[in-house]
A and B are shown apart, each in its own frame.
Chain A
């Protein structure tokens, strides 16, 4: 059993241990066991970080490969392997896993055993999705995730939890089953073709290997690529979620318990964007180029729309949820700039969004636990009562809106550079999104933390405790680290991003791409030196 399997299945083992060896009355033991396994998983995943070779290319791009025979008669293999993009996302997952488990200590007071089991199962599903290099395996993990999340929202959620849970489940499932058809179309193209539709196959041995499809992608006729892309697009765009497929997100976020929201925002949404960079772009280059404009238009609508809707929210959690729509619009925009700069920014922004928005959801959850309301109007002047909380909230908000020296800036700036390289119009729309982002977050901050402390219910709210402080500080450290040393992260995703760019446009690096001004800001030169 290799290291990737270990990282994937440690949470599952934890879930089994809790299921069979701990009585449900023993809440503390359940919590600590879950934490133990989450921490062990994170530590094991650090092994990946230290042993990953960022300069691996070609056959060595995907590392820690583990391949076993699974269903030979269908060409299905159990195939694990990660590149830099998956590595960062796996680390994000294991890290946020700890945050999610620990942040639930006081928030979840009933049916704890089931809760922690589901949280750990979810973790296994998510890590497996990022590791899988076989479409069949990927699909299995992709769908497995739905079930625990459905229960987490449905059992421990807010007042409209049943509605939100089923909407989440059906919405995501509808997208993924259509994606399954696209996978099947790829499968038959590689194999015998679809004679009835006059689609000639390549006659290769049947396989679901993603890397094989990376290699044959450009051979698919553009017409077929288009339809396959549409299938993938539905599956991934719903998960991202892109405008206009985002309607499940506010419901799911608002009703989910805090840890559910954290995982949903930090990791689950990244499944969609990860799907695009891992599958849709490299396998379907022609369709990708053909569909740039509609997708970019949707992304920009998402950026502006998400920000505008955030601006008018009365509920803090809903505000953060809609801000995700806006931020994920940035990720999609950077990705479809289809140049190394945009893609790198896009991948880094996935991580940034996970950290910043995860932190914001955690913060909203902390105040909700104390006051049982998330309405902005119920607060005001909290900075006096909870100075530490106010400071941490400010850092998270600034990171989310893209203040220099914090992580959000690096991501957004790199995306803007990439987008501007394609079209200055895209970049200007996106900049408007950044301004709006600052507006809704600062206005939120102003209404909640400044002004007079006039609601008597807020007078005796205790500040963050040590457990919460620890979680938040860990997140802040990451924000600052990525903010001032992004080169470490850009280094890791450099090769995978170049690989994707080359798959989409094989001649990209021969065409002498636009060089950026040498006297670029500090952070950007850090990016450039790694090239």
Chain B
């Protein structure tokens, strides 16, 4: 490795140093200083973003060395996801602020772990080698386990972390086993080499088994049925901002590696895996949506809804066409913004001066805070895929991809399930607007306002004028699309 190659990794290096500093500040005895963990974290994120932009410009002008390329790529696809992750984490920091202030736990460790998780996500986005991807994933997962159990003296939080850890560890093992089988057959872990090796293989049981195990491990990370059981429990038990993190940033990172592995590495075996994934996708949409119908706890409801959304995103993988790939990117954006907006609103809830998380706790929001109740409607409509919100554009891409790929039956399930999903999204609307009499209390703080406001603006703007986002997505996905040898269909 050449020292010049560090430029590819510079954003991650900056972030790692920053996160380590965060960890060290309280140890250095400056607990009493006026330094705010939140603003330091924001500064680190800002620095990372700036470095990322600078590096991406620099990389364009220098020759990309094959050595680093075999493990790690700073391409348009990864830059897109990294920017998205940084934005998501920045919003999460805003969300976490008051939540942490109300608890007795140290924000320094919390933000530091969030930083390491982000670092893992950025490695995942850039990974073009299964080991890089695996390491990134583990860094993210280990940080997430700790974060889920961050309220260490609370039973629910500890239980959630334990469940998440045990199931996550098993799934990582499965993933690793799948990777080793693929290595055994293909002789390489670089996705391009795997693709090259696969193009010469007709059929191979060990390889098929490897792909299935790899897929199962990834399905655990995106919480697709039947690997979903941890989701509602963990979302319910984890501190609310961490549930928000698991359902947005962490999930989008899993979407990114899912897309890259299957589009770049495994596209030759498309016909072997697409029906399996199609079944998983259908089950996720059906089970996720129907299970969400009966939930009274908003966090559990969002947990089941995120299972359903994993099912929708899988449509983009199964279809293996340009629309599907673009759909995954578009959906990642719209899903993150709509979901974070909802989590911001959930954080406003109070029940007897304590954090509320039941559907009933939304009662009266339309009178107490009409703007945020309206914002909540927009977020819910976006998740339900109703125009003119961004969610419709995301769903449009995924459904269109499925239709174009000939998965009509799956598309029918998908659209009907998205209609079903409106049932439980509207339950929140009913609570906010249609029930009368209750005057509930809410704690609406400035950071929550900023995040919800930003998410509202993005969700509406991308829904009404989606053209710039789509152009960006087309540019960002072009290199992966080219690697997967997708034929862009006529006219585009």
Name the contact of A72 in the complex, choosing from B386, B423, B467 (C-beta under 8 A): B467
* A465 in the interface (beta carbon within 8 A): no
Docked complex Cα distance between A181 and B408 (Å): 8
Q: How far is the CB of B422 from chain A (nearest CB, A)?
A: 6
Looking at the assembled complex, report how far the CB atom of B76 sits from the nearest CB atom of chain A, in whole angstroms. 16
Interface status of A528 (Cβ within 8 A of chain B)? no
Q: Are A187 and B490 in contact (CB under 8 A)?
A: no
Given contacts A204-B491, A206-B490, contact A181 B411 (CB under 8 A): yes
Q: Is the Cβ of B406 less than 8 Å from the Cβ of A196?
A: yes
Residue among A166, A170, A184 having the largest count of chain B Cβ atoms under 10 Å = A184
Report B-chain residues with C-beta under 8 Å of the C-beta of A184: 399-400, 403-404, 411
Q: Are A154 and B403 in contact (CB under 8 A)?
A: no
A178 touches B (CB below 8 Å) = yes
Contact of B419 (CB < 8 Å), options: A70, A154, A162, A170: A170
On whether the beta carbons of A75 and B491 are closer than 8 Å, the reply is yes
- In the complex, A374→B471 CA distance in Å? 56
Verify if A519 is at the interface (C-beta below 8 Å from B): no
Q: Verify B467–A71 contact, CB threshold 8 A.
A: yes
Interface flags, B394-414, vs A, CB<8A=1, else 0: 001001100111111001100
Whether A144 contacts B412 by the Cβ 8 Å rule is no
Chain A stretch 168-187: residues in CB contact (< 8 A) with chain B = 169-170, 173-174, 177-178, 180-181, 184-185, 187
B422 engages A169 (CB within 8 Å):
yes
| Bound CA span A147–B466, Å | 21
**Contact indicator A140/B490 (Cβ below 8 Å):** no
Q: When chains A and B are docked, how far (Å) is the Cα of A208 from the Cα of B72? A: 40
B177 CB to nearest chain A CB (Å): 32
Q: Is A56 an interface residue (CB 8 A)?
A: no
* A contact residues around B404 at 8 Å (CB): 184, 188, 192, 194
In angstroms, Cα B384 to Cα A174, docked, is: 12
Once the chains bind, are A203 and B490 in contact (CB under 8 Å)? yes
**In the complex, what's the smallest C-beta–C-beta distance from B59 to chain A, in angstroms?**
26
299-313 of chain A: CB within 8 A of chain B: none
- Closest A-chain residue to B423, C-beta based? A170
Interface centre among B381, B474, B489 (most CB of A within 10 A): B489
Interface string of B450-492 (1 = CB under 8 A from A): 0000000000000000110011001000000000000001111
Q: How far is the CA of A173 from the CA of B396 in the complex (A)?
A: 15
Residues on B with C-beta less than 8 A from A178 are: 412, 415-416
Is A522 interfacial (CB-CB < 8 Å)? Answer: no
Taking the complex as formed, is A197 at the interface, i.e. its CB lies under 8 A from any CB of chain B? yes
Q: Does any Cβ of B come within 8 Å of A478's Cβ?
A: no
A146 at the interface (CB under 8 A from B): yes
Given contacts A174-B416, A181-B412, 18 further A-B contacts (CB under 8 A): A71-B466, A73-B471, A140-B388, A143-B386, A143-B387, A146-B386, A154-B433, A162-B434, A166-B430, A170-B420, A181-B408, A184-B399, A187-B400, A188-B400, A188-B403, A205-B490, A206-B490, A227-B408
Jot down 23 A-B pairs with beta carbons below 8 A, ordered by A: A73-B474, A143-B386, A143-B387, A144-B388, A155-B434, A174-B419, A177-B416, A177-B418, A180-B396, A180-B399, A181-B399, A181-B412, A184-B404, A185-B403, A188-B400, A191-B491, A192-B491, A194-B404, A194-B405, A196-B405, A196-B406, A196-B407, A206-B491
**A: which residues have CB within 8 A of B?**
70-75, 139-140, 143-144, 146-147, 150-151, 154-155, 161-162, 165-166, 169-170, 173-174, 177-178, 180-181, 184-185, 187-188, 191-192, 194-197, 201, 203-207, 227
Interface positions of B (Cβ within 8 A of A): 377, 381, 385-388, 392, 396, 399-400, 403-408, 411-412, 415-416, 418-420, 422-423, 426, 430, 433-434, 466-467, 470-471, 474, 489-492
